[in-house]
Amino acid sequence: MYRYDEFDHAFVSARVEQFKDQVERRLAGELTEEQFRPLRLMNGVYLQLHAYMLRVAIPYGTLSGRQMHKLAHIARRYDRGYGHFTTRQNIQYNWPALSDMPAVLDELASVEMHALQTSGNCIRNVTADHFAGAAADEVADPRPYAEILRQWSSMHPEFSYLPRKFKIAVTGADRDRAAIQVHDIGLHLKKNEAGELGFAVYIGGGQGRTPMVAKKIRDFLPIEDLLTYTTAIVRVYNLHGRRDNKYKARIKILVHETGTEEITRQVEAEWQAIKDTDLKMPQQDVDAIDNYFRMPDLPQRPEGWSQLAISRKADPSFARWVDQNVTPHKNPDYGVVTISLKPIGGIPGDATDAQMDLVADIAEKFSNDEIRVSHEQNLVLPHVAIADLRIVYDLLLTDGLATANAGLITDIIACPGLDYCALANARSIPVAQRISERFGQPERQADIGELKIKISGCINACGHHHVGHIGILGVEKKGEELYQISLGGSGDEICTIGDITGRGFSSEEIVDAVETIVDRYLLVRTDKEETFLATYRRLGAAPFKDALYNETANAA
Amino acid sequence: MSDISESVAGELWGREGFREDPYIAAETLEETGDAPAVILPLAAWLGLDESVRNATNRKIGVSVAPGESIDPLLPLLDTIPLIALQFPAFNDGRSYSKADILKNQNHFKGELRAVGDVLIDQVAYMLRTGFDTMKVTHAVTLTRLAEHNLHDAPGYYQPGRGSHTVPGAYSWRRVPGGA
């Protein structure tokens, strides 16, 4: 993985020193909260419902054991013993004191981390496929390009006061695990017919109150043009994106109002003017960054296969975990392990300091010292030998980290909601917990199969409900929390925005409503192979609406 | 704090420090008498007769609001002594892109000025995108500028004015200094 050089260290230290000065001035009363606001936001410090919140960047979700130990230490020393992994592959601390923030940033800097550009109208933390560099189906590792974009976008003088926040995601596999089509820029790393690497470029995707699937504006962009082309896109957006209404300020609205053809023309025209400038990347620089992300030397471990067969037969729980949470690795002797942060009835994405330390220890020993954070709020051990799966499983089991539900109905994404967030209209976490308890029985989950539930506590859609197979949006109506359901959303390579079923459900009704939908699915699917999403795409909303509203009407 | 900011209020800031502003801003040329250096709004400037615009006995600069396009100016850059890009609010970043287009893409040789609500943290960004001078209203910014406290970074991850490459470093990186 990428390591800071002197340049990076000096850059981050200077920012921490600057922020220390600003916090001191705020605490001394020299800065008002209003004056302090833009300064703290540049350093990832939000003011939430109950306290200041710190959002730490985990670039493209990649961490070392040492970094994860540091996150655990921060949770223990400066927070209440836990942290919350987010849908942007970041971690949030909900309870640090403002006076401790500079110390926390110092601690982060000591392990090559920071909280820069985790808020504000700038280019945010660049995300990537959480299986990058390990997945068997990958064309090329997207992280070198995410790292180049991270560097280039850091404190960018032209792009730090954009109309609104700006999110870039990169994937290197045809199976899109990074949801690139709901990002401001989505990059799909692929090979052309000549076998050269390049990107398909998508712009204008996003969720929030106006969900839109991104438009492809270029089918193949050579690697050397990554930074010039991105500059052209962001420049067109900076100049022409709407600034009169913050809800219409994202690039998706500009793309929609301008038209894909015209905006493509503008981007291409701007690019022609700058494509041969200093930002055109020499291959040697790309190679140097790429070198940091080379596949580690993984020893052959063929003995794992026979051991696995024996362990599986002896322990059905272990077998279920392997089936659900281990995905194929480029090296057949290895697997990619998803560590579920969705224990039945738990809070999605939360991890205690002890859990973080445990994951760090396991990674150091059994995953080439690498950990990933997924946008689905789970952790990933990218390089685990099949021969070590049993011991890794046993270790995870000691602290509730071996839930075998990756991709299943209880692997729920939920935003922090009204329990923490100043913007929320409704609670998300308790709804996620109750759904998880309702469907938590292992055989039942396995029978239902792949089903992604995503819950947002307000229209800003941090819980990605628009792309949930079942999406739940909390709204406030006459002082009551009400939950709207949408169906058929998907954030993968066939990206769709879910359809709203109809009137919403109360907090008491919502779990029953989800169960009604699931029961109807089980009834109408062709067989166990047909997933919920496939069934929905075949039959549309009608059978589910019928189940939801007719039954509810009868019951009432 | 306010003492310093008052002493330099209304002055022009550049890399060399504060100085008197030779220009006066006006809505029309008529109301400026025989002032030797004038800044007019874009529409008024574009409405001037070419002979007036190019007169050698006075300088006539042009002021551009964030929502206005600089395209009509591009063919005329050789004749413009000053372009003032307005920052009515600190968070409207359109003029950063315009600065880059004017200075780096079209090699505008005249003075490029930022006018308005500029935060101290933005000054270094402005210099790097191509601004030469600043006419600032924000009291804290004035004080910090007077103290030569620019909030700059030790290195940059992008090319920009006032920086240079380091041999062997990634092509997109720069350090402060030089052109």
Choose from B91, B163, B174, B175 for mutation: most chain A CBs within 10 A.
B91
Among A95, A110, A125, where does a domain finish? Answer: A110
- Chain A residues touching chain B at CB-CB below 8 Å: 7, 10-11, 14-15, 18, 35, 38-39, 42, 121, 148, 151-163, 227, 235, 238-239, 243, 273-274, 277-282, 285, 288-289
Nearest CB to A152 within list B91, B125, B157: B157
Q: Do B97 and A273 touch (CB under 8 A)?
A: no
ipTM of the complex: 0.95
Distance between CA A116 and CA A97 in Å, rounded? Answer: 18
Is B179 in CB contact (< 8 Å) with chain A?
Answer: no
Mean pLDDT of A166-185: 97
Q: How many CB pairs under 8 A join A and B?
A: 100
The answer as to whether A475 is a domain residue is yes
Structural domain range at position B60: 2-152
- What does the pLDDT read at residue B3? 64
- What does the pLDDT read at residue B1? 45
The answer as to whether B92 is a domain residue is yes
- What does the pLDDT read at residue A440? 96
CATH number at A150 reads 3.30.413.10
Number of domains into which chain B is organized = 1
Minimum CA–CA partner of A161 in chain B: B93
A301: which DSSP letter?
-
The answer as to whether B169 is a domain residue is no
Minimum CA–CA partner of A231 in chain B: B97
Is B159 in CB contact (< 8 Å) with chain A?
Answer: yes
Q: In the predicted model, is pLDDT for residue A555 greater than 70?
A: no
Choose from A32, A40, A155 for mutation: most chain B CBs within 10 A.
A155
The answer as to whether A130 is a domain residue is no
| CB-CB neighbors (< 8 A) of A14 in chain B | 153-154
Minimum CA–CA partner of B151 in chain A: A18
Q: What is the CA radius of gyration of chain A?
A: 23
- Identity of residue A82: Y
**Do A474 and A536 sit in the same domain of this protein?**
yes
The end-to-end CA distance of chain A, in Å, is 58
- E strand spans, A347-424: 350-352, 370-373, 379-385, 413-414
- What does the pLDDT read at residue A556? 43
Nearest CB to A158 within list B66, B97, B173: B97
CATH number at B24 reads 3.20.20.70
Nearest Cα to Cα of residue B144 among B126, B124, B125 = B124
- What does the pLDDT read at residue A479? 87
SS (H, E, C) B62-131: EEECCCCCCHHHHHHHHHCCEEEEEECCCCCCHHHHHHHHHHHHCCCCCEEEEEECCCHHHHHHHHHHCC
The answer as to whether A115 is a domain residue is no
The answer as to whether B174 is a domain residue is no
Number of domains into which chain A is organized = 4
The answer as to whether B161 is a domain residue is no
Is B27 in CB contact (< 8 Å) with chain A?
Answer: no
Backbone phi, psi, residue A70, to 5°: -65, -40
**Do A308 and A288 sit in the same domain of this protein?**
no
**Do A448 and A359 sit in the same domain of this protein?**
no
The answer as to whether A253 is a domain residue is yes
Nearest CB to A158 within list B96, B124, B169: B96
pLDDT averages per 10-residue partition of chain B, 179 residues: 70 92 94 92 95 88 97 96 94 96 96 92 93 91 86 92 92 88
Q: Where are the alpha helices (DSSP H) in A315-462?
A: 316-325, 353-366, 389-397, 429-439, 442-448
Q: Which of A15-19, A374-378, A478-482 has the highest mean pLDDT?
A: A374-378
Share of residues in chain A with pLDDT > 90 (%): 88
**Do A281 and A309 sit in the same domain of this protein?**
no
Task: Give, in degrees to the nearest 5, the angle at Cα A146 between A145 and A151.
Answer: 95
Among A292, A318, A334, where does a domain finish? Answer: A292
The answer as to whether A128 is a domain residue is no
The answer as to whether B101 is a domain residue is yes
- What does the pLDDT read at residue B8? 79
**8 Å CB contact between A142 and A187:** yes
Structural domain range at position A159: 142-292
Choose from A3, A239, A291 for mutation: most chain B CBs within 10 A.
A239
B123/chain A closest Cα distance in angstroms? 10
**Do A288 and A152 sit in the same domain of this protein?**
yes
